[in-house]
Structure 1
Amino acid sequence: MPAASDLEAISLKAPAAGQSAARGVEFACCGLLLCAAALGLLGGLTGQRVLDSPLLTRVPMAISTAVLFLILGGMLLLRQIFGAGLGLRRAGGGLALLAAAAACLNGASVLLGGGSGFLDLPFRQLSLWLGVPHVNMSPATATLFTLSGLAAWPLLLHGADDSPVREPWLAAAGLLAAVVAMAGAVFLLGYAFGSPLLYGAGVVPVARSTALSFVLLGVALVCEAGPRRPPLRMFAGSSPKALLMRAFVPLAALLSLAHALFLAHGQGGESDALLASFVAMATAVAIGVAVSVVARRVGGSLERAEARRAEAEARVRLALEEKTVMLKELHHRVKNNMQIISSLCLLQAEYVVDPRDRVLFEESQARIRSMALVHEDLYKSDDLAFVDMGSYVPRLVGQLVAGFLPPVRVECLVEDVRLPITQSVPCGMLLNELILNSLKHAFPGAERPELRVSLRMEEGLVRLEVADNGPGLPPGFSLSGTSSFGMVLVSSLTDQLHGSIETGAAAGGGARFVERFPLAES
């Protein structure tokens, strides 16, 4: 069974990947929010409205509103740039609570008949001193600032050392931020449905730039909550449920809003813009909720199936790793046993008196080493099914000619050929016999012995060639007609490889053997 920590790491991989995207969106929203607030503040101090109507046919952003946007957006941007230091966290949380309290008291004083709220009074005096028209913060704006400050307080205060006690506050902050963004979108849509009626006597005014700024602030706070908390949690990750949510919920909301806008402008008359925008947004939310319920149910089933598949895959992968370790250990033990047998042959050869018998022991020892070398390469390789002949052949040739006097000049040309173990062992033994044949019959008495070994693919067949510069083969030489054990073994190995072997004279004199056999798939 796979470890629970492995499955948990897989499930948390997607939210961690979405964190960087959320940070990028938050950074962009904070930058746009600060620009809008700065332009609103500049317009309030100079009377030159950039984002709103210069003729005041629509209510512009109040100076107090711009200041609160600068405070909240600035703290979010500073957190993005400098991180969640303890001092910055405390300052951000304190300013967020202060902004929420000030906005709440300001809205309450206006609703109670105080005219201007206490937050607007100093800015009203500043406007009179500058000789520019003054605009008060509306109760709707104060309400949204109260919600924004309450959402920003836990988000700005928390750091990397989150505790489970604070997690419900962070989740609630993400939901409050979503409410702020949707409320700002409702007021912003009012301009699309007939904005002059938005400022009738019975309707609370909200500036166009203020509504846009609340959308940016709400989105920034939602991104600050992150993909591990609502409302982004249901959209984050690579699970089928999240993919369905990301595909269908925005599409349904956009289609419903476009349909509402088309109907509103197609009537030819004017309607209550705030009511129309609220109905449009409510319809979009309702459709989005309906789609999300379906997506969560369908996605939940797919996600459970995906979890079962991932668990089964992890179980199979673990079993494969265990079998790989066991197979490597098997090759390692086979190689060690063959080395032991080779050492025994070497020790036994020390007690042999007849030189001809000693040669037989040495040849057997070389054959055993050629097989042990295959298992050694398999043990060290990541691929336990195939042997890399490009590294095996030079090592085998080097072992066989080492210590031969005079030194043998070796020319080894081996392409990237990989043979399965069922072919690499007989091919290695065949190469061993051909090289031993050259060392035994071609090079004794030679002044400059030369050995050429090549291995490559030719017309879909594996081509192995061994040639020397010795006296060459005797006239009428035939593998079937020789009684030498080495040549009999070569014939047997050729049949085992389902190949064919050619003998003849090399280009510069000497013997030449060419083996061809088909490459097995496994």
Structure 2
Amino acid sequence: MTKSSDWLARLPLAQGRPVLGVAVMLALAGTAFAVRWFADPMLPPGFPYVTFFPAVIITSFLFGVQIGSASAVICGALAWYFFIPPFRSFDLTIASAFALTFYVFVVATDILLVHWMQRANHRLAAERERNRALADTRELLFRELQHRVSNNLQVAAALLMLQKRRVTDGEARTALDEGARRLGVIGRISRQLYHVEGTTRGLRALLEPLCDDVVDASGKPVTITVTGDHDLAVTSDAAVPVALIVAEAVANSIEHGFAGREQGRIDIDLRREGSSIRIDVRDDGRGLPEGFDVAASGSLGLSIAAMLAEQLNGRFDLLPGQGATARLTVPA
């Protein structure tokens, strides 16, 4: 709410201090009378209310219909007694009756218009307050929902880790570890996926904290940067699979690209290419072995990434070079 609209919403003023309102009203009426008295020699006949109309309107605007009506009566009486012939008299003639009827019509219309405007402002202010309260409640519920979904996924991951304690087979324990890690990643994605307004976050805003979490979980001092357009985004249905694929690519770089190393660097580049979005996850690790094929690699994480990319009508590839580059291409 702007300062001007906030001030208008408080009108009429001095509602709890009627004495102040009456004092200002009398001052305005006295000023209007004084101006009319000194201007009388310069005015042609037929303008008895010329200075009193503004006083009534200002009083009604500032202090409401009751004090405005009192101002209208006082100003009308002053104009009738001093400026409507026969002067200094309340004698009612046809001319004075016509002038008074015109005055009553004008000031009544002005007071009613001011009153309706103030009532409309009060209703608008009350509606804004209700909307603000609803927005606060929606934000609270939205954050609570995100928190609960993330917590439920974390609980599921913790249950897998508990189950792991009862398993002695090495491959089964590894599978449970991977399942718990992926559930944790999905939980972090769901926590960061949406704005409070319900719109999906841009890819960069979604991937930066997620990739930092994956690096932190690895325990290695890996430097990771995400570059690209802040406004680049995919649909809400595609956001979770895309984030999972990128997280798998980062985890794969840390596990295999930096095997035997204590540190490394990963650069993630986001860009639009025609009707597609291309995401490159590039590391400075040891690179890919000769003739590497994702489908034949036997890596569950890479297989999941390729399957998710296919479901999005996209493509996931690992490209050789200095280090390795995981490239995801999906429809924009």
- Give the structure-2-normalised TM-score: 0.67
Question: Which amino acid is the alignment partner of residue 409 of structure 1?
Answer: V
Contact residue 433 and residue 490 of structure 1 kept, 8 A: yes
Check if 1:14 corresponds to 2:11: no
Q: For 1:423 and 1:287, how far apart are their aligned partners in 2?
A: 70
Secondary structure in 2 matching 1:235: helix
Q: CA deviation at 1:430?
A: 0.9
Partner of 1:137: none
Partner of 2:24: 174
Distance 1:314 1:275, change over 3 A: closer
Contact residue 150 and residue 188 of structure 2 kept, 8 A: yes
User: Is the helix fraction higher in 1 or 2?
Assistant: 1
What do residues 264-285 of structure 1 show as CA deviations (whole Å, max 9, x unaligned)? xxxxxxxxxx779x8xxx9999
Secondary structure in 2 matching 1:411: strand
Q: For 1:190 and 1:298, how far apart are their aligned partners in 2?
A: 29
What do residues 160-208 of structure 1 show as CA deviations (whole Å, max 9, x unaligned)? xx996x72x44443343233222212222134259xxxxxxxxxxxxxx
Secondary structure in 2 matching 1:472: coil
- Same amino acid, percent of matched pairs: 21
Check if 1:470 corresponds to 2:286: yes
Partner of 2:72: none
1:35-46 matches, cutoff 5 A: none
Partner of 1:337: 152
Q: For 1:17 and 1:312, how far apart are their aligned partners in 2?
A: 16
Contact residue 9 and residue 125 of structure 2 kept, 8 A: no
Partner of 1:512: 325
Count of aligned pairs between the two proteins: 295
Secondary structure in 2 matching 1:387: coil
Q: For 1:498 and 1:285, how far apart are their aligned partners in 2?
A: 81
Secondary structure in 1 matching 2:293: coil
Contact residue 287 and residue 320 of structure 2 kept, 8 A: no
Q: For 1:283 and 1:482, how far apart are their aligned partners in 2?
A: 102
Q: For 2:109 and 2:272, how far apart are their aligned partners in 1?
A: 58
> RMSD of aligned C-alpha atoms?
4.6
126, 133, 143: which one aligns with 1:328: 143
Q: CA deviation at 1:310?
A: 5.5
Question: Which amino acid is the alignment partner of residue 441 of structure 1?
Answer: H
Q: For 2:190 and 2:107, how far apart are their aligned partners in 1?
A: 58
Contact residue 446 and residue 470 of structure 1 kept, 8 A: no
Contact residue 282 and residue 324 of structure 2 kept, 8 A: yes
185, 189, 198: which one aligns with 2:35: 185
Contact residue 452 and residue 467 of structure 1 kept, 8 A: yes
Question: Which amino acid is the alignment partner of residue 466 of structure 1?
Answer: V
Question: Which amino acid is the alignment partner of residue 288 of structure 2?
Answer: G
410, 434, 445: which one aligns with 2:223: 410
Q: CA deviation at 1:429?
A: 1.0
Stretches of structure 2 lacking an aligned partner (at least 5 in a row) = 45-50, 69-82, 88-96
1:8-157 matches, cutoff 5 A: 13-14=7-8
Contact residue 276 and residue 331 of structure 2 kept, 8 A: yes
Secondary structure in 2 matching 1:395: helix
Q: CA deviation at 1:457?
A: 4.8
Distance 1:404 1:292, change over 3 A: same
Q: For 1:472 and 1:15, how far apart are their aligned partners in 2?
A: 68
Check if 1:359 corresponds to 2:174: yes
Contact residue 60 and residue 114 of structure 2 kept, 8 A: no
Rg larger for: 1
- Give the structure-1-normalised TM-score: 0.45
Partner of 1:102: none
Q: For 2:148 and 2:213, how far apart are their aligned partners in 1?
A: 21
